[in-house]
Structure 1
Amino acid sequence: MTSSEPVDLAVIGAGIVGLAHAVEAVSRGLSVAVLERDERATGASVRNFGHGCASAQAGLSLEYGMAARRQWLRLAKEAGFWIREAGTVVAARADDEMTVLNELHDRLGAAAVLLDRSAVLKRVGLADDVIGGALLPLDLRVDPREAPAAIARWLTEQGVTFHWGTALASTEPGLVRTSRGSIRARRTVVAVGHDIDYVYPDLAERHGVRRCRLRMLRVTDPHARTLDPALLTGHSMLRYGAFEDCPTLPAVRARLQREEPEAVAAGLNLMFTQRPDGSLTIGDTHHYDHTFDPFDDEELDELVLAQTARLLGVPNLQVLQRWRGVYASAPEPFLVDTPHEDARAVSVTSGIGMTTAFGLAASVLDDLL
């Protein structure tokens, strides 16, 4: 596979972060080669909710998320994958949660539209304990099992060369060594997500990178209806940056810790999205470590199922699939570092790669080029 002519950019990793850099490079007229150790993307990019939740971000994450939103809409048309401009409903089931949503509306205006109880139930059909909510109309939904593959196919049509089943051995200025030979490249982006510590262990340690393991499930929708928006809850408020500046959020956190300590300890983000086939992706819990045991306790799945069943107002749910999600986690939301001249190591270390990757990629290439 050793190349004679160098490409302008070699991208290591065909997850959404790597693909975003390839898309951005193509838009700038660069020649690109993408290396992926597996035969297709199998990591965080296909195991998530497919939720482009830009509205719930803050700071740089919000900036990247809004830029990525424009790219998602363009790519859906050009690459031909399913997308919905359906927004997100944040359901309030307690007065303190509704107070937080009022504070969010005061700050964001039309980007966070307040809903009364009947409007929430009309959009998402939950249990009777819902008292109101808010609509974040700018958020998107895609099918994460379809979109990365569609983007890779589209990139191939644009002249990008993909080397599937090709593992990275090392990088150095001007050269990428792989399990199938070497590629000459003027610039390199290493976007291997939570496996960044396998490639650059010292760099990962310096940034405090760990893995975040999620428990997620796909279930039959018990109400058999079409749900356009994604659904977030009070538990979600504890995990998204836009809510952190709401003065009364500590009251929500304190109540949930008092009333549902097991859920809070498990890092529950009680939410769901609907897939094109009508099933629901539900979850998720969060646990952090460098290396996880391979054994899963049933209690976490039972927690997610019980909480979601209660949210939907049904006694139980029919499980179709279970899986572990995984992403890189670090104190800062984005890792961008320079392992050597003309290379960048890039990882979204906050679990919002689908939401922000296309905005991040533009920033990285602005610097790298």
Structure 2
Amino acid sequence: MTSHLSWDRSLDAADLVIVGAGVVGLAHAVAAVDRGMSVVVVERDERAVGASVRNFGHGCFTAQDGAALRYATAARTAWLRLAKEAGLWLEESGTVVVARADDEYAVLEEFAATRDGQAVLLDGGRVAERVPVGPGVVGGAWLPLDVRVDPRQAVHAIAAWLAGRGVRFHWATSAHLVEPGLVTTSRGRIRAGNVVMAVGHDVDRHFPDLAERAGLRRCVLRMLRVADPHGRRVGPAVLSGFSLLRYGGFRSCPTQPALRARLEAEQPVLTGIGLNLMFTQRPDGDLTIGDTHGYAVTPEPFDDDELDRHVLAESARLLGADRLVVRERWRGVYASAADPFLIAAPMPGVRVVSVTSGIGMTTALGLAPEVLDDLAA
């Protein structure tokens, strides 16, 4: 019989204890190791299985604005470094934004004018040269600074690289209680100089009042992996006119509200499900397509197949394909709130960090050093 006192044993100790081994948590571990800190990471699953592995693998740096653009710019440098040092797959292939209407191209013209060569306008023919698209393309833009990684490989490669640099991982270990200087887990207590809670959409499981004040909800996505209908290598990520409604850099363009109004009037079902019509190609040649967005504090557990039908139909139209063969389907979940970044200090030496805008892969590696600067101060 296990003594009650065994639960008081010390499991570990470190300068920084991070709860959560998704990309946000690992980004803080990278920044801490670079500063010579000792680091422990606590993860409830035996490996990362959340939003960090269920996304497009798209470093969508250029389309951000404000703080997100600052974080993204720094994150790009970090991703390039990690690709070399951690051995993760990365392509500096950029993004092609496809415009299939004049008002979509007008937004891209305004966007390109503000980005000093970071967005190159393309006519319809040059779009078709770069990516497979169906008829009706009037033009587009190439964002050369964007990158692609394989999300199913990247976070695991970073975790392995961190372990090789002395970071200690406690997998399949739940954090039950966080206090200044202490994290109590399902396996014992960990002494902490500082703590970063990087638990994504589960902030409310640990700090419900904080989550309520932030208006935190869960955003549920529908995504699919399909066979490439053209058998063609697609280097860039591909965005569409629907994407112009979702990224901060495009939303700041003066003509974007008129585009939104037109799409909402002509495609109320697609805008109503929050369609961000885009795709990326995986290293094996298949395409990741999506995605839809639904919001709730507690989402319904039932998936509506109508969402997948919309994604498949619109993706086929964008690709100029008769039909798409589905290999996999999945639900992604990430934290959502009005402020795209939740950074809070619920107690001394503890920071709660959640990217509440679906751009964790794009920004986390730039955000984390600023959080550690704040903790150090």
Q: Calculate the TM-score normalised by the size of structure 2.
A: 0.97
The counterpart of 1:304, out of the listed 308, 311, 316, is 311
The residue type equivalent to 1:143 in the other structure is D
1:237 corresponding residue in structure 2: 244
Give the direction of change, closer, same or farther, for the CA distance of 1:166–1:272 in structure 2 (3 Å limit).
same
The counterpart of 1:48, out of the listed 24, 42, 55, is 55
The residue type equivalent to 1:7 in the other structure is A
CA distance in 2, matches of 1:125, 1:317: 14
1:318 corresponding residue in structure 2: 325
CA distance in 2, matches of 1:333, 1:290: 16
Which secondary structure state, in structure 1, belongs to the residue aligned with residue 177 of structure 2? strand
| Counterpart contact for 2:223–2:331, Cα < 8 Å | yes
1:133 corresponding residue in structure 2: 140
Which secondary structure state, in structure 1, belongs to the residue aligned with residue 333 of structure 2? strand
The counterpart of 1:227, out of the listed 204, 226, 234, is 234
Alpha-carbon distance, 1:90 to partner: 0.3
Which secondary structure state, in structure 2, belongs to the residue aligned with residue 323 of structure 1? strand
How far does the alpha carbon of each residue in 1:176-230 deviate from its partner, in whole angstroms, 9 at most, with x for none?
1000000001100000000110011011111110000000000001001111100
1:189 aligned to 2:196?
yes
Which secondary structure state, in structure 2, belongs to the residue aligned with residue 338 of structure 1? strand
| Counterpart contact for 2:11–2:187, Cα < 8 Å | no
The residue type equivalent to 1:134 in the other structure is A
How far does the alpha carbon of each residue in 1:238-286 deviate from its partner, in whole angstroms, 9 at most, with x for none?
0000011211111211111122111000000000000000000000000
1:70 aligned to 2:65?
no
1:157 corresponding residue in structure 2: 164
CA distance in 2, matches of 1:183, 1:279: 42
Alpha-carbon distance, 1:131 to partner: 1.0
CA distance in 1, matches of 2:106, 2:162: 45
Corresponding pairs, count? 369
Alpha-carbon distance, 1:3 to partner: 3.6
Alpha-carbon distance, 1:173 to partner: 1.1
Give the direction of change, closer, same or farther, for the CA distance of 1:113–1:289 in structure 2 (3 Å limit).
same
The residue type equivalent to 1:210 in the other structure is R
1:365 aligned to 2:372?
yes
The counterpart of 1:341, out of the listed 319, 341, 348, is 348
How far does the alpha carbon of each residue in 1:266-307 deviate from its partner, in whole angstroms, 9 at most, with x for none?
000000000000000000000000111111111000000000
The counterpart of 1:173, out of the listed 155, 170, 180, is 180
What is the alpha-carbon root mean square deviation over aligned residues? 1.0
Q: Which runs of 5+ in 2 are unaligned?
A: 1-6
1:282 corresponding residue in structure 2: 289
The residue type equivalent to 1:332 in the other structure is D
1:120 corresponding residue in structure 2: 127
Structure 1 range deviating more: 1-10 or 147-156: 1-10
1:58 corresponding residue in structure 2: 65
The counterpart of 1:15, out of the listed 8, 19, 22, is 22
2:105 corresponding residue in structure 1: 98
List structure 1 segments (4+ residues) > 4 angstroms apart after TM superposition. Answer: none
The aligned runs of 1:263-274 (5 Å cut-off) are 263-274=270-281
CA distance in 1, matches of 2:321, 2:132: 11
The residue type equivalent to 2:318 in the other structure is L
CA distance in 1, matches of 2:68, 2:45: 29
The counterpart of 1:253, out of the listed 227, 248, 260, is 260
The counterpart of 1:328, out of the listed 332, 335, 344, is 335
Which secondary structure state, in structure 1, belongs to the residue aligned with residue 246 of structure 2? coil
The residue type equivalent to 1:59 in the other structure is G
Share of identical aligned residues, percent? 63
CA distance in 1, matches of 2:15, 2:192: 6
CA distance in 1, matches of 2:134, 2:256: 23
The counterpart of 1:36, out of the listed 43, 68, 72, is 43
Alpha-carbon distance, 1:19 to partner: 0.2
How far does the alpha carbon of each residue in 1:99-124 deviate from its partner, in whole angstroms, 9 at most, with x for none?
11111111113101001111100110
1:108 corresponding residue in structure 2: 115
CA distance in 2, matches of 1:98, 1:350: 25
Alpha-carbon distance, 1:308 to partner: 0.3
How far does the alpha carbon of each residue in 1:61-109 deviate from its partner, in whole angstroms, 9 at most, with x for none?
0000010000000001000010010100000000111111111111113
1:202 aligned to 2:209?
yes
1:211 corresponding residue in structure 2: 218
